[in-house]
Amino acid sequence: MQAGKLRYPVSIEKPVDVRDKLGGFIRTWVEVSREWVDIESVSGKEFMAAQAPQAQTIYKITLRYRADLVSSWRIREGVKLYEITAVLPDSRRRRIELMCKTGK
Q: Which residues contact 46 (CB under 8 A, 6 or more apart)?
A: 53, 54, 55, 56
CATH of the domain at 44: 2.40.10.270
Report the domain count for the chain.
1
Cα–Cα distance list, 33 to 10, 65, 68, 70 (Å)? 9, 13, 11, 14
Question: Which range marks the domain in which residue 57 is found?
Answer: 3-103
Residue 23: its pLDDT value, please? 85
Written as tens digits, the pLDDT of the chain (104 aa) is 555 789 999 999 999 999 988 888 999 999 999 999 999 988 766 545 455 566 678 899 999 999 999 999 999 999 999 999 999 999 999 999 999 998 65
